[in-house]
């Protein structure tokens, strides 16, 4: 088997060979522990019948572990300086394709039709740059890709928010937005010591598994998320106060909001953080007829 990219010695050799310097603006932190990478990939349950989509392959440390398990790997790299590095480090693997592009500007659905049409089982597996974790996850979820799920590493604090349950400090509109589409759980913790350069915080790997059917049936998904964000606008405020201040003409329509809360069996003095995704879904459905003129979401 080819020598692992992700050892401290080999990583340093590669960086030196190409005179590579880390760009803080791109959130580049490379993993230098093969065991951690092996564990991350094991959570994806990949076979030769599977394809993997990676975001930010860096020098190919995670990519090679994916290539050893999956039938095909497509990796998006934004940093042009890394393209010759990846061509070199991943040369033993014929099932890897690197696309030089910003994932936030890519039509991933179209890419899958074009490059992964032969694969029924597709997973996103990535060490996400901290500064764009939420936009990337949101984009992939909103595109409703035909994937089984995601195994993604991120800042522990963000992982806590994504997997949070109601009535906890970390629970918020991000928790609901992600858990509406996928079951979310923390798969493993990753200490900052296994990266170069070392980040300031520890990381966590979360496992997201797509629901066959959403945990709640809603009439308008955009409106559901708008109601959730509105309910968390000021965490210390009650749900009635937040909705009044955030919904279009909320103050004039206070009685309509109170009526919807009553019909959903939600006490108006509760805070948004105490509501389950099911309660938010029911509430959004009841509010929708009177608040259709939602501002730009």
102 labeled part of a ligand binding site = yes
241 labeled part of a ligand binding site = no
45 labeled part of a ligand binding site = no
CB 243 within 8 A of CB 227: yes
CB environment 28-57: b (16+ within 10 A), e (fewer): bbbbbbbebbeebbebbebeeebbbbbbbb
What is the DSSP code string of 213-231?
A: S-SS--S-HHHHHHHHHHH
How many other β-carbons are positioned within 10 Å of the β-carbon of residue 14? 19
CB 235 within 8 A of CB 205: no
3-state secondary structure at position 171 = coil
Longest dimension (CA), the chain: 69
103: Cα separation from own chain's centroid = 12
88 labeled part of a ligand binding site = no
Rounded alpha-carbon distances, angstroms, from residue 190 to 64, 154, 156:
19, 9, 9
CB 182 within 8 A of CB 280: no
95 labeled part of a ligand binding site = no
Pairing status of strand 195-196 against strand 30-31: antiparallel
Task: Find residue 188's DSSP bridge partners.
Answer: 205
Helix and strand totals (H; E) in the chain:
12, 9
CB 223 within 8 A of CB 167: no
29 labeled part of a ligand binding site = yes
Q: Which residues are annotated as a binding site?
A: 29, 31, 56, 77, 102, 127
Known binding-site positions for S-adenosyl-L-methionine = 29, 31, 56, 77, 102, 127
């Amino acid at each position: 088997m080819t020598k692992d990219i992700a050892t401290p010695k080999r990583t340093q050799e590669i960086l030196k060979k190409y005179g590579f310097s880390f760009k803080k603006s791109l959130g580049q932190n490379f993993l230098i522990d093969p065991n951690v990478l092996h564990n991350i990939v094991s959570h994806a349950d990949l076979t030769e019948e599977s394809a993997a989509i990676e975001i930010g392959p860096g020098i190919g440390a995670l990519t090679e572990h994916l290539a050893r398990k999956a039938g095909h790997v497509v990796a998006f790299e934004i940093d042009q300086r890394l393209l010759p590095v990846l061509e070199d480090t991943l040369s033993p693997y014929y099932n890897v394709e690197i696309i030089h592009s910003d994932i936030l500007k890519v039509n991933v659905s179209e890419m899958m039709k074009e490059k992964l049409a032969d694969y029924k089982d597709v997973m996103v597996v990535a060490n996400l740059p901290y500064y764009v974790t939420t936009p990337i996850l949101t984009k992939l979820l909103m595109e409703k890709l035909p994937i089984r799920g995601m195994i993604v590493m991120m800042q522990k604090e963000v992982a806590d928010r994504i997997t949070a349950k109601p009535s906890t400090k970390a629970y918020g509109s991000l928790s609901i937005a992600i858990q509406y589409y996928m079951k979310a759980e923390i798969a493993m913790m990753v200490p900052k010591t296994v990266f170069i350069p070392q980040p300031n915080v520890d990381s966590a790997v979360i496992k997201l598994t797509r629901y066959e059917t959403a945990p709640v049936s809603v009439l308008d998904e955009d409106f559901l998320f708008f109601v959730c964000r509105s309910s968390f606008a000021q965490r210390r405020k009650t749900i009635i106060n937040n909705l009044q201040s955030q919904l279009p003409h909320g103050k004039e329509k206070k009685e309509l909001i109170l009526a919807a809360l009553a019909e959903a069996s939600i006490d108006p003095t509760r805070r948004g953080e105490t509501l389950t995704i099911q309660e938010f879904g029911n509430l959004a459905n009841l509010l929708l007829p009177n608040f259709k003129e939602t501002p730009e979401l």
